[in-house]
């Protein structure tokens, strides 16, 4: 897999700065001198191993991170929740960069295309980088809506039956919702 380099400002990363890592054992197969793979390489590897994701995007986006400190899953305040395959769970906390965090995220992602990482951030997965980035942006939006709605009062939630109807309708209308696993 290709992974972003450690200790870089992400906005300054060029494609050639990315580090090539063997999925099976995490061994470095190609990198420029002095360039190390992201500290979350174990997390990325675990997700690729457990799913058929073609891209994994990990962020510390603002509202996703706020919600990761407050709840065990993002409350289903909006039908856009179905884009993630169901309610987005929060993976239990573990120190960044550890195998423990990787295992926790892999578990929270089962049957889902996104998860929050408790007191840390978020992860979104898809077939390719553009779609995974798109989902990460949608996730940040959903987290922001849930946060503000909860702050303002007690939001109505959509139940499982309604989310199933929405998913069926999205399929009928051929919205681009693909199964990741």
Binding residues for Zn ion restricted to 114-173, rule: CB under 5 A = 121
Q: How far is the CB of 136 from Zn ion (least distance, A)?
A: 12
| Minimum CB distance to Zn ion, residue 135 (Å) | 17
Tell me whether residue 38 or residue 81 sits nearer to Zn ion (CB atom): 38
For Zn ion, the closer CB: 10 or 151: 10
Q: How far is the CB of 91 from Zn ion (least distance, A)?
A: 12
Instruction: Measure the CA–CA gap between 55 and 174, rounded to whole angstroms.
Output: 22
Q: Which is nearer to Zn ion, 76 or 121 (CB)?
A: 121
Catalytic residue among 14, 40, 73, 107: 40
- 73 catalytic, yes or no? no
Q: How far apart are CA 6 and CA 3, in angstroms?
A: 9
Shortest Å, Cβ 175 to Zn ion? 30
How many helices and strands (H and E) does the chain possess?
5, 7
Cα–Cα distance, 57 to 113 (Å, whole number)? 11
DSSP 109: T
How many residues are recorded in the chain? Answer: 181
For residue 129, give Cα distances in angstroms to 3, 95, 133, 149, 178: 12, 26, 6, 30, 14
Cα maximum dimension of the chain: 54
Matching residue, tokens 């929270």: 108
When the beta carbons of 91 and 180 are compared against Zn ion, the nearer one is 91
What character string, x for contact with Zn ion (CB under 5 A) and - otherwise, covers 58-97? ----------------------------------------
* Residues designated catalytic: 40
Q: Which chain residues interact with Zn ion by CB under 5 A?
A: 121
């Amino acid at each position: 897999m290709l992974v972003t380099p450690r200790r870089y400002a992400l906005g300054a990363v060029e494609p050639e700065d990315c580090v090539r890592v063997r999925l099976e054992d995490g061994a470095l197969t190609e990198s420029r001198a002095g360039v190390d793979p992201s500290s979350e390489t174990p997390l990325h590897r675990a997700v690729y191993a457990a799913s058929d994701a073609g891209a994994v995007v990990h962020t510390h986006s603002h509202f996703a991170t706020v919600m990761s400190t407050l709840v065990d899953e993002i409350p289903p305040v909006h039908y856009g929740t179905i884009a993630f395959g169901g309610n987005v769970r929060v993976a239990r906390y573990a120190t960044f960069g550890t195998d423990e965090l990787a295992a926790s995220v892999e578990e929270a992602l089962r049957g889902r295309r996104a998860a929050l990482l408790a007191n840390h951030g978020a992860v979104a997965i898809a077939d390719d980088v553009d779609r995974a980035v798109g989902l990460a942006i949608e996730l940040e939006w959903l987290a922001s809506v849930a946060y503000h709605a909860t702050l303002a009062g007690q939001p109505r939630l959509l139940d499982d039956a309604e989310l199933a109807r929405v998913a069926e309708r999205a399929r009928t209308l051929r919205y681009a919702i693909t199964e990741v696993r």
